[in-house]
């Protein structure tokens, strides 16, 4: 794709017609990248009867929104979405294309990248431009941060999780160009969506929690893990985890925080019995106040938090929980 710099693109994912927060966060960051490149920011928005929800994309910074409306697009379908996006990309040749690292984005992004014969970096934790104005895609790997660039192929594609970037201010109405896509009836789709069942999340949702209590391998067994669960319950906090408790079966995968899990930005984060490996810590970069409990004085986590408590969590947590109960009783 030669010539002048193409636009910066964002795929705006929706649920029941409403734009997901991660898509707004990406739109805000994409606005900065587009300004630095001196190009436009364009958003692809697919769904059914969702036109009224395009305004928030303009408010977030989009210059143009490609709107595809059709009953078949109400729910994500990989082939249909991929075909629409690939056709648009071949026509308009974007420079950069960003998608959320959601269940949808994780499937859609590689499908689109393969069709366009370009590169894709998954689970980025930062996006900047290098001296040559190429997209610098930062990922955590091998115990550190790695910068990836796509020197030749376009678009430069990346997926980014919710919470990596701040949500832009969308309160001020802004104007942009709305482009209506012609969406035909496809008869030869291999997959037909019959029904959608929404899973109810138990406990406090991680992504929106003001307080997060996360546990690691230091719990040692299910009994120790239950103490961490009890602490989260007593504090009205969301329960988070590193990889080992998930592998042990103590907690569901959707509670994992970090590179392969969720991004959180609580007012208070308490890490219990975890070492502070980068793969977990990159998921809490937005936390305001961080506290760690670990029995090893030289644990890496103590270099990354505001307050550290050196103690065996199995001995410390029962005392902490009892003190919290007593404090709450005095306040009642």
Same structural domain for residues 22 and 150? yes
- 72 with 14, same domain: the answer is yes
- Residue 306 — pLDDT band, cuts 50, 70, 90? very high
Whether the CB-CB separation of 258 and 279 falls below 8 Å is answered with yes
Domain assignment present for residue 203? The answer is: no
- 83 in Cβ contact with 118 (< 8 Å): no
Instruction: Classify residue 59 as left (phi > 0), alpha (psi -120 to 50) or beta.
Output: alpha
State whether 176 and 215 are in the same domain.
no
* Residue 166 shares a structural domain with residue 76: yes
- Nearest alpha-carbon partner for 35 in 68, 57, 5, 77: 5
Say whether both 13 and 150 belong to one domain.
yes
Mean pLDDT of the chain: 88
Q: Where are the alpha helices (DSSP H) in the chain?
A: 21-37, 55-59, 78-92, 103-116, 222-235, 243-248, 278-281, 313-331
Residue 194 lies in a domain: no
- Asked if residue 29 has pLDDT above 80, the reply is yes
Are 223 and 172 in the same domain?
A: no
pLDDT higher than 80, residue 159: yes
> Are 169 and 284 found together in one domain?
no
Are residues 151 and 227 both part of a single domain?
Answer: no
Please give the pLDDT value at position 186: 66
Among 126, 158, 180, identify where a domain stops.
Answer: 180
Per-residue confidence (pLDDT) for residue 24, from 0 to 100: 93
Q: Is 53 left (phi over 0), alpha (psi -120 to 50) or beta?
A: alpha
**CA distance linking residue 13 with residue 225, whole number of Å:** 35
For residues 281-288, average pLDDT: 83
206 occurs within a structural domain: no
| Residue 184 vs residue 102, higher pLDDT | 102
The pLDDT of residue 293 is 93
Of the residues 131, 162, 180, which one is the last residue of a structural domain? 180
What percentage of the chain carries pLDDT values higher than 70? 95
Read off the pLDDT band of 144 (50, 70, 90): low
What's the CATH code of the domain at 89? 3.40.50.620
Mean local confidence (pLDDT), 302-328? 91
At 256-283, the pLDDT tens digits run 998 778 888 899 999 999 988 888 888 8
Which structure tokens are listed for 69? 């409306």
Residue 98, CB half-sphere, CA atoms under 13 Å: how many? 34
Distance CA 114, CA 135 (A): 19
Q: How does residue 318 score in pLDDT terms, banded at 50, 70 and 90?
A: very high
Q: How far is CA 255 from the centre of its chain?
A: 14
Tokens for 184, please give them: 């035909």
pLDDT at 2: 39
Q: What is the pLDDT at residue 276?
A: 86
How confident is the model over 288-308, as a mean pLDDT? 92
> Rounded to whole angstroms, how far apart are CA atoms 270 and 273?
10
Residue 164 lies in a domain: yes
- CATH code at position 282: 3.40.50.1220
According to the model, what pLDDT value does residue 201 have? 67
255 and 167 both lie in a single domain:
no
Q: Write down the pLDDT at residue 205.
A: 79
Residue with the bigger pLDDT between 179 and 141: it is: 179
**pLDDT of 154 above 60:** yes
Asked if residue 15 belongs to a domain, the reply is: yes
The pLDDT, as a whole number, for residue 3 is 44
Q: Mean pLDDT throughout 59-73?
A: 91
Assess whether 31 and 100 both reside in one domain: yes
pLDDT at 316: 92
- Same domain membership, residue 173 and residue 30: yes
Query: pTM of the prediction?
Result: 0.79
The rounded distance, in Å, linking the Cα atoms of 102 and 262 is 10
Give the Cα separation of 237 and 231 in Å (integer).
8
In degrees to the nearest 10, what's the CA dihedral of 52, 53, 57, 58?
20
Asked whether residue 109 carries a pLDDT value surpassing 90, the answer given is yes
In-domain check, residue 197: no
Same domain, 174 and 38: yes
Q: Supply the pLDDT for residue 211.
A: 94
- The tally of domains found in the chain comes to 2
What average pLDDT score do residues 34-46 get? 94
* Structural domain harbouring 44: 8-180
Encode pLDDT of 178-220 as tens digits.
Answer: 999 888 776 566 777 777 777 776 667 787 789 999 999 989 9
Which one is predicted more confidently, 260 or 242? 242
Q: What percentage of the chain has pLDDT greater than the value 90?
A: 52
Domain final residue pick, 163, 180, 197: 180
């Amino acid at each position: 794709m030669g010539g002048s710099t193409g636009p910066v693109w964002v795929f705006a994912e929706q649920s029941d017609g409403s734009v997901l927060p991660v898509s707004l966060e990406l739109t805000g960051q994409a606005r900065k990248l587009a300004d630095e490149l001196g190009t436009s920011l364009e958003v692809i928005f697919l769904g059914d009867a969702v036109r009224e929800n395009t305004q928030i994309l303009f408010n977030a910074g989009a210059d143009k929104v490609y709107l595809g409306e059709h009953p078949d697009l109400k729910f994500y379908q990989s082939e249909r979405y991929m075909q629409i996006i690939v056709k648009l990309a071949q026509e308009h040749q974007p420079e950069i294309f960003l998608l959320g690292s959601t269940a949808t984005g994780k499937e859609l992004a590689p499908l689109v990248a393969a069709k366009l014969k370009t590169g894709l970096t998954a689970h980025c934790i930062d996006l900047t431009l290098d001296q040559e104005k190429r997209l610098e895609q930062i990922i955590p790997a091998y115990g550190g941060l790695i910068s990836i660039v796509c020197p030749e192929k376009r678009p430069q594609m990346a997926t980014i999780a919710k919470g990596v970037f701040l949500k832009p201010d969308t309160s001020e109405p802004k104007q942009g160009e709305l482009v209506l896509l012609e969406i035909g009836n496809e008869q030869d789709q291999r997959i037909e969506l019959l029904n959608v069942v929404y899973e109810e999340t138990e406990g406090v949702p991680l992504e929106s929690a003001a307080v997060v209590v996360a546990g690691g391998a230091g719990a040692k067994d299910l009994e120790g893990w239950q103490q961490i669960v009890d602490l989260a319950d007593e504090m009205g906090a969301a329960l988070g985890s590193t990889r080992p408790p998930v592998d042990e079966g103590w907690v569901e995968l959707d509670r994992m925080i970090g590179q392969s899990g969720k991004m959180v930005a609580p007012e208070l984060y308490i890490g219990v019995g975890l070492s502070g490996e980068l793969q977990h810590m990159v998921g809490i970069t937005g936390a305001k106040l961080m506290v760690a409990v670990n029995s090893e004085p030289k644990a890496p986590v103590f270099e990354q938090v505001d307050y550290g408590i050196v103690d065996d969590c199995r001995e410390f947590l029962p005392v902490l929980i009892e003190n919290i109960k007593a404090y709450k009783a005095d306040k009642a």
